């Protein structure tokens, strides 16, 4: 699995919201400018995170987006799934792929186990962990 730009930018935006002082909105423009990202893309991502219930928005001067939950309660997995990202490490695990080896593949079980551990790690890693710059 390789993170898409949408996933990467979405995590950056979510971490920036987590870094903001409490009850201080961050605009899509502000986030985009910090990283040289396309404003329209960040706006779309933040809108999608709002639709998923992870962020709330404020209109008007000084408006922007705020995390709805404390950063330690928002997992990386939840952010990625809110952005409709596939978290499967190999295509055959999503059930929709018609691999001719599905019934006989000697590695599928191992990939399922690895994939489950990967998802578990994403569940256990919060925006607070990313905000703090997780140590290796």
pLDDT tens for each residue of 105-114: 898 889 899 9
User: Cα 33 to chain center, whole Å?
Assistant: 20
User: Is 102 contained in some domain?
Assistant: no
User: Is 104 contained in some domain?
Assistant: no
User: Is 33 contained in some domain?
Assistant: yes
Q: CA 110 to CA 16: how far, in whole Å?
A: 36
**Band of pLDDT at residue 136, cut at 50, 70 and 90:** very low
User: Is 20 contained in some domain?
Assistant: yes
Q: Pick left, alpha or beta for residue 38 (phi over 0 → left; psi -120 to 50 → alpha; otherwise beta).
A: beta
**Number of domains within the chain:** 1
User: Is 99 contained in some domain?
Assistant: no
Per-residue pLDDT of 99-132, as tens digits, reads 777 778 898 889 899 999 999 999 999 999 998 8
Backbone phi, psi, residue 65, to 5°: -120, 150
Q: CA 126 to CA 67: how far, in whole Å?
A: 13
Handedness of CA 48, 78, 69, 33 (dihedral sign): negative
Q: Tell me which residue range forms the domain holding 53.
A: 5-88+126-131
Q: What is the domain-level CATH number for residue 80? A: 1.10.10.10
User: Is 51 contained in some domain?
Assistant: yes
**Band of pLDDT at residue 98, cut at 50, 70 and 90:** low
User: Is 39 contained in some domain?
Assistant: yes
Residues counted in the chain: 136
Q: CA 64 to CA 59: how far, in whole Å?
A: 7
User: Is 109 contained in some domain?
Assistant: no
């Amino acid at each position: 699995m390789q993170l898409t730009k949408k996933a990467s930018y979405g995590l950056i935006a979510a971490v920036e919201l987590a870094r903001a002082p409490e009850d201080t909105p961050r605009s899509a423009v502000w986030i985009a400018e910090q990283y040289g990202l396309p404003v329209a893309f960040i706006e779309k991502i933040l809108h999608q995170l709002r639709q998923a219930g992870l962020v709330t928005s404020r209109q008007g001067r000084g408006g922007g987006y705020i995390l709805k939950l404390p950063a330690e309660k928002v997992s990386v997995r939840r952010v990625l799934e809110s952005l409709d990202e596939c978290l499967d490490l190999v295509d055959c695990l999503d059930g929709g792929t018609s691999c001719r080896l599905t019934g006989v593949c000697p590695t599928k079980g191992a990939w399922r186990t690895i994939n489950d551990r990967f998802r578990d790690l994403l569940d256990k890693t919060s925006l607070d962990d990313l905000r703090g710059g997780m140590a290796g």
